[in-house]
Structure 1
């Protein structure tokens, strides 16, 4: 297995936590709350965020240099998801996790 820096391992952990948080909140909290929590643009963004986080973690785990591209996109989508969750309200856990992941991914994309 390739050598992985502590920073990369930390980013993988953040991506997987964000994946779990976004997917979990979408499938439980948002679906149960209804209304603005399940508006298509917000719900799709949460699904996109979960998927790009999972993909970025996967790219880092397999050791491809292309992780820089997925991490750059991941940071952008996580920031957008955090803003959307803030606007919807009652989703602070997702907001916080998306922002942590975005920050970590920005470092990996540099």
Structure 2
């Protein structure tokens, strides 16, 4: 597999893990209702990243379409998580930013 694909897959999988962890941690926060959008975006982002990783790994002709969507949702999730001071949100925001950039680079290749 191409080195660039390996780096993209690593970013996608790291984002899945960060989003899943963030959503679970948000559910444990005292004011969970205030975290509703964060949790929702975490779940959506995780699902889209996982699907994108599968399509990239198999060389699907539809991977490019998913990469565009993935970059968009990763950026939205990063923006939302970045507004919260919880460490899990900050870590998720960073993973999402890295993934969005990796998706954009994947499209440019």
Same fold (TM over 0.5): yes
Task: State the shift of 1:5 in Å.
Answer: 1.3
TM-score, normalization: structure 1?
0.88
Q: Which ranges of structure 2 fall in alignment gaps of 5 or more residues?
A: none
- Mean CA deviation greater in 69-78 or 81-90: 81-90
1:62-77 matched pairs, under 5 angstroms: 62-77=58-73
Shift of 1:46: 1.0
Separation (CA, whole Å) in 2 of partners of 1:7 and 1:65: 17
In the comparison of the two structures, how many residue pairs are matched? 104
2:23/2:42 contact within 8 Å kept: yes
In the alignment, the residues of structure 2 paired with residue 42 and residue 26 of structure 1 have an alpha-carbon distance, to the nearest angstrom, of 7
Q: Tell me which residue corresponds to 1:42.
A: 38
Structure 2 equivalent of residue 97 of structure 1? 95
Structure 2 equivalent of residue 20 of structure 1: 17
Structure 1 unmatched runs, 5+: none
Moved over 2 A (4+): none
TM superposition score normalised by structure 2: 0.89
Q: How many Å separate the matches in 2 of 1:43 and 1:22?
A: 8
